[in-house]
Structure 1
């Protein structure tokens, strides 16, 4: 189904349909080809509601559990993009067969929005605006390789990025929240559930080196343990 760490509901045997796009809705011609869609949601109510809007549309083919990784479009429907959602988005980002859109209740900050986009999300739609037609247009836009972001979220993102650029001009604004390539790789392996021995085998380092590297990361990021370090790194877009 999905990433072992993420208890998301996925599409069961639903022979069906849908396509979509948000923000300023340009005129859009729907292709005659059906778009295969996988739906992911942590809440069964969100899952069922989304599937019901898509299932009877001729433009859409909802894929079964056995074929989730072959979907042309993956829709992730959540209240907020939390650590579990980030893990799922990260996994989907590495699947070249699919492009991902997020239907979300809210973003707490521009930083949260930027982290989500950094995880390979092509399009965003607010749940409050996600009626059937907009979902269809969202899916269609994603399938056609387009990026979609509501105007107010784009403004929030630009404000956030502008603030980051301003702070980067301050020579005192040196961030300790950075990772070397080796540290990032080890944290990615931790996020996939590997233990010290398995990480050592994968990276060709000794177990002692793996422990030392991860201890250094935990200390530098001022987090409690490996799991906390993974969550922090995902939220900051470090892995």
Structure 2
């Protein structure tokens, strides 16, 4: 059973989404907040599994509220879906940057909404890898190597962790990375978990953003003595 917090300043939208969720047996609790500040307070009090967060909120924006909530390190950590009427690339990039797990337009069907929440609650992301790459390439300046800001950060990683991070940036799944590096999927998960822990990343989406910001997508794979088939 999944608990959900709905954050939207439009009462009609908020109550409409809540009504849809309350008709489904898959959700144990549905709470509501009308602005970013209230969202932070409600997330702290109710510890929802998933938060549907509008972007344009009075005072504290949805992006800022999402960042503040994720910084609280709540247990369990809520997974955030940015819910908006604005199909604007910049918002998707900002949602990725702060660690949101999905992006959904308000004109989506009720069936799509329910499926999206279930997907996010199970630990997946709601971003198409090809779209993610296009967005980040548009908003991150092209570099031929790591920027001074990220070079020191990358020095914390082993060669294999850097390789895994680069392939995550390309949009590959753990299984696809395992095939490319000729290792087990469990090994990939272990490398990725250690890399994200060292870099203080909260989501795979943030790992994708960092891979681009660090200039890894233009680098030649570092040799570690194992065969690679990444093309």
Question: TM-score, normalised to structure 1's length?
Answer: 0.48
Question: TM-score, normalised to structure 2's length?
Answer: 0.49
Higher relative contact order (CA 8 A, sep 6+): 1
**Greater radius of gyration (CA):** 1
